Amino acid sequence: MKLRIPLIGGHNQPGLRVLDDQLCVNWMPETDASGKAALVPAPGYSLLAAAGPGPLRSNGVKWKGDCYFVSGSKLVKVDSEFKVTEIGELITSQGYACIAAGFNFIAIVDGASGYCYDGTTFEEITDEDLPISDFVEWIDKYYIYTQRDTGNFYVSKLQDPRDIGGLDYENAESRPDNLKRGIEHGGDLLLIGEYSSELWNNVGDPFSPWQPYIGSVYPWGTGAPHSVAKLGGWLYVLARVEDGGHSIIKTASAQAVKISTPALDKEISGLDYESAFGCAYEYEGRGFYKLVFPKDKKIFIYEDGEGVWHERRIKEDAIIPLGHVYFGGKHIFGDYRSHKLYEMAHGVYTDDGSEITRVRRIQRIEAEGHPMTIHSVELQMEPGVGLATGQGEDPLIWMRYSFDGGYKWSQELYGTPGKMGDYENRLVFRKLGTGPMLSLEFGASDPVNWTLVAAWADVTIGK
């Protein structure tokens, strides 16, 4: 009998092979308007520009026709032709920085001081009332500075990040935990603490413009404030609660929706939680939330429409994409380890020349305890994708299988989708053997369009 293999799926590593142990690494599911699904290669990166001394350590912002990053100790500007100019120097050169863009200034904080730039002059903010802050946010013509290790946030004078009154601060006092960051959310100010969050709005009072909404305290906070990202009215957060544990949520209002799986929560628990950096973007009509653990070299990406996760694994010498800005029709990322800016793009199958290894481990197949003889497995994919010359001229994909749930695997079996123009090639792996269950894993690393469409097994089920 022909058995359709559940090829299309996401990342799920529960830590126990008896559970739904799946891998989706550097592939991502995609469904068309008719409902047909495929695994398409996650896009790679190509070098765009060298920017400052490095490393890239901030979010990217667009302002007055250019975009800005913090690279090492420098604020750098990237113009519409992707030429880079160093604007000014910060005291620090390591650790995350944060940039906020208003009408007349961009403001920068780095956990040591604050800075601003009006398009002509870059200067350190010398107001003695500026708190030690890791985050600045621009909302309703005010710059909001989160004071480190307190529940306080400071409010600038209208339109001017340099002018902070000593009494112009408020306290997110509904809960006793420290405030981690403030962020604009739906036109209001969301204050995210360690274990709780609350929503404030601008009431127009010239002496105390920001006031909390009544009853707007939420039972989640974060220990990873750089994980917070916005897209299309949604806010994405690597959240935690006071009772213990953490998960990834998205929220558009008071109601938070958990989007991480228990297996992903468990996997994240072993990573450097506080260094997590998030960004969200729309790519080819679909929304994505990318969560990077730079110290662990781990990247998890959530595709909002499909509601599934996939993993981006990177090689030792590959880039670690940090920060994001969509500018000049390009998705631009900085590199956590260098001074380079990269474009993420469709049809790029390496990370700036570094090989991308793609792996898909499917959900285990069983026949209610009956033995299965696997006569063959056929993999349908985009054919004839070989390159004209070099690596990928005769691209190879491998498959291995297991009959005991993934404890022991076969040797890798190799096949090809065909050289360039070979559109009639069929990829079939034959005479695999017999066992009580079947696990399959596919992988490839040649720099070609590895689009997987479907897979079938020719199976005889015994008694």
DSSP state of 56: B
pLDDT at position 70: 98
CA dihedral in degrees (313, 316, 319, 322; nearest 10)? 70
Domain boundaries, the chain: 2-42+359-461, 44-353
pLDDT at position 462: 86
Supply φ then ψ for residue 263, to 5 degrees.
Answer: -65, -40
Q: Kindly report, residue by residue over 32-42, the tens digit of the pLDDT.
A: 878 888 999 99
Supply φ then ψ for residue 288, to 5 degrees.
Answer: -130, 145
> In this model, does residue 289 exceed pLDDT 90?
yes
Residue 275 DSSP SS3: helix
> In this model, does residue 111 exceed pLDDT 60?
yes
Q: To the nearest whole percent, how much of the chain has pLDDT over 90? A: 73
pLDDT at position 421: 86
- Token readout for 158 is 């209208």
| Pick among 3.30.930.10, 2.40.50.100, 3.30.70.1560, 2.130.10.10: CATH of 44-353 | 2.130.10.10
pLDDT at position 426: 86
User: Among 13-17, 263-267, 358-362, 445-449, which is the least confidently predicted range?
Assistant: 13-17
Task: Quickly state the pLDDT bin for 166 (edges 50, 70, 90).
Answer: confident
What residues contact residue 123 under an 8 Å CB cut-off, 6+ apart? 88, 115, 116, 117, 162
> In this model, does residue 127 exceed pLDDT 70?
yes
Task: Quickly state the pLDDT bin for 367 (edges 50, 70, 90).
Answer: confident
> In this model, does residue 20 exceed pLDDT 90?
no
> In this model, does residue 16 exceed pLDDT 60?
no
pLDDT at position 318: 81
Share the mean pLDDT of the chain. Answer: 92
Task: Quickly state the pLDDT bin for 422 (edges 50, 70, 90).
Answer: confident
> In this model, does residue 168 exceed pLDDT 90?
no
Q: Kindly report, residue by residue over 227-265, the tens digit of the pLDDT.
A: 999 998 999 999 998 777 889 999 987 678 999 998 899
Architecture of domain 2-42+359-461: Sandwich (2.60)
* Dist. CA 157–CA 337, nearest whole Å: 36
